[in-house]
């Protein structure tokens, strides 16, 4: 009897397999596209860019690239993963056709971007209605977080420049709708900027906020039910004034810089005015207190703005700043919400950190770098990345339950999308049989059943 060599069994490899489907779990994303009506919406939006004798629909081509990015692709050529499985993903355009479409859309500039964004907004409104109480607006309000992202460039690309972190690349400003603790979050804005773009540029924040609001259902594009949340980069007079402008009436929670004036006011706050900070479960947060500042520190800011400051013990090893006081780390933010205690307002603002989770997911979904050379092309790429992220959020929201609802892109790919399948043709039907021994096959089949129960568009 021969002894085996090594820890793993040796198998003979042949390349002649038939009816084997790779990335079979990607059918979840295909069904999500169908139920969201995104395929028809984007095909209609990009119809002006379809040539009379074209074989491939521009909307389908763009969606194919987004699907490839969603299942792990990082460049246009990765659409070849889908091209190899026409039974699941349909006919997929060749690499030259994909490249020509990107160039054509890039040359159209804002017209093409506006068409893509309008299709996304239409599909988003439908998905939120399908999700019901599980949608981001299930509680009657919507929270949009704005944050900057550093995207490194390892080669000469248009508008790549040194960043404030001494790296080289671009500095897009993105917006995400927060789904709360029971979900993740979906992108609603991506403004491509050079690497040396300022963090607290009011014009960029206003543009990003406009893009984000245009992605929301119409009832949330103005009014107090929509909260715009940013870090201190958004703490400028112009941006806060824009948020509070008459007729817009948005709620806001904007980080502010601790200036010398703010520092002096903090020193005058009596001990009795400090309220313990709280955690998400309502427990008191150890070593942190909040207070509201009033008086001339608010002069020059929009009427109704409240300035709330938080002091807390710094983490072990952290160095205090000049603006800190009495050994406490100081942070502050502005808001126009009057219906909540200041401890809850501070907790709501602190949850802005969830935007970092969304940025991590974006980096894992095509935003690790920008694969194209020209800025106009990379603007189209950013829209593709957002479509991919939309699908990675909408699918769990509509079809997954329990802990699977919170899975991030890497886990979705590893457990669901990479599942292998076998295509069986019987009579007039084609059946995709997933591997019985795969640990998460039941998650895929249950999710597909839930999607099948949803009404079709139109």
- Are 176 and 358 in contact by the 8 Å Cβ rule? The answer is yes
User: Which residue carries 């929670």 as its tokens?
Assistant: 253
Residues with Cβ within 8 Å of 211's Cβ and at least 6 positions away in sequence, in order, are 117, 175, 188, 189, 190, 191
Q: What is the pLDDT of residue 67?
A: 97
Q: What percent of the chain has pLDDT over 70?
A: 96
pLDDT at 114: 97
Residue range 43-59: mean pLDDT, rounded: 93
* Mean pLDDT computed over 173-201: 92
For tokens 């420049």, the residue is: 161
Q: For 271-281, how does the pLDDT look when each residue is reduced to its tens digit (9 = 90+)?
A: 899 999 998 88
Q: What is the mean pLDDT of residues 150-165?
A: 91
Q: What is the pLDDT of residue 430?
A: 86
pLDDT of 3 above 70: no
pLDDT value for 156: 86
- Average pLDDT of the residues in 362-367: 95
Pick from 103-117, 178-192, 425-439 the range whose average pLDDT is largest. Answer: 103-117
pLDDT of residue 146: 95
Integer Cα distance of 167 and 76 in angstroms: 25
Query: Does the pLDDT of residue 322 top 60, yes or no?
Result: no
Q: Tell me: the pLDDT tens digits for 67-111?
A: 999 999 999 999 999 999 998 899 999 999 999 999 999 999 999
Helix or strand holding residue 208 (H, E): helix 202-215
Q: Report the pLDDT value the prediction gives residue 108, as an integer from 0 to 100.
A: 96
User: What is the pLDDT averaged over residues 403-427?
Assistant: 92
The predicted structure's pLDDT at residue 324: 60
Strand order in the sheet with 161-162: 151-152, 168-170, 161-162
* Highest mean pLDDT (candidates 48-57, 199-208, 273-282, 388-397): 388-397
Mean pLDDT of the chain: 91
More confident of the two residues 330 and 43: 43
């Amino acid at each position: 009897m021969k002894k085996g060599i090594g820890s793993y069994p040796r198998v003979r490899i042949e390349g002649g397999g038939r009816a084997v489907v790779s990335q079979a779990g990607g059918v979840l994303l295909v069904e999500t596209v169908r139920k969201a009506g995104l395929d028809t919406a984007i095909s209609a939006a990009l119809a002006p860019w379809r040539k009379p004798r074209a074989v491939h629909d521009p909307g389908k081509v763009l969606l194919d690239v987004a699907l490839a990015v969603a299942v792990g692709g990082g460049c246009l050529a990765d659409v070849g993963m889908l091209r190899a499985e026409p039974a699941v993903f349909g006919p997929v355009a060749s690499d030259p056709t994909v490249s020509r479409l990107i160039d054509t859309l890039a040359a159209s500039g804002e017209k093409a971007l506006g068409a893509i964004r309008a299709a996304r907004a239409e599909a988003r409104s439908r998905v939120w209605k399908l999700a019901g109480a599980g949608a981001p607006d299930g509680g009657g309000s919507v929270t949009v977080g704005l944050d900057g992202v550093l995207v490194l460039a390892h080669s000469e690309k248009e508008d790549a420049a040194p960043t404030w972190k001494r790296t080289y690349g671009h500095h897009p400003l993105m917006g995400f709708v927060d789904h709360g603790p029971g979900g993740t979050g979906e992108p609603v804005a991506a403004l491509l900027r050079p690497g040396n773009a300022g963090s607290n540029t009011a014009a960029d924040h206003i543009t990003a906020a406009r893009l984000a609001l245009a992605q929301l259902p119409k009832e949330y594009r103005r009014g107090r039910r929509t909260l715009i949340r940013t870090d201190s980069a958004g703490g400028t007079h112009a941006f806060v004034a824009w948020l509070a402008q008459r007729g817009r009436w948005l709620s806001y929670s904007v980080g502010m810089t601790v200036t010398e004036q703010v520092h002096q006011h903090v020193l005058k706050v009596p001990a009795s005015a400090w309220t313990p900070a709280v955690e998400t479960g309502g427990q008191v947060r150890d070593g942190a207190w909040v207070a509201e500042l009033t008086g001339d520190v608010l002069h020059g800011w929009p009427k109704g703005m409240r300035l709330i400051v938080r002091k807390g013990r710094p983490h072990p090893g952290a160095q205090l700043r000049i603006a800190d006081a009495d050994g406490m780390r100081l942070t502050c933010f502005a808001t126009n919400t009057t219906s909540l205690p200041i401890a809850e307002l501070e907790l709501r603002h602190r949850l802005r950190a969830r935007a970092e989770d969304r940025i991590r997911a974006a980096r894992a979904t095509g935003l690790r770098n920008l694969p194209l050379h020209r800025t106009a092309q990379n603007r189209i790429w950013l829209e593709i990345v957002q479509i991919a992220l939309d699908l990675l959020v909408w699918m769990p929201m509509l079809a997954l339950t329990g802990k699977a609802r919170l899975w991030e892109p890497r886990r979705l790919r590893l457990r669901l999308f990479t599942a292998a399948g076998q295509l069986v043709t019987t009579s007039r039907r084609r059946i995709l049989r997933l591997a019985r021994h795969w640990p998460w096959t039941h998650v895929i089949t249950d999710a597909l059943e839930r999607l099948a129960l949803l009404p079709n568009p139109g």
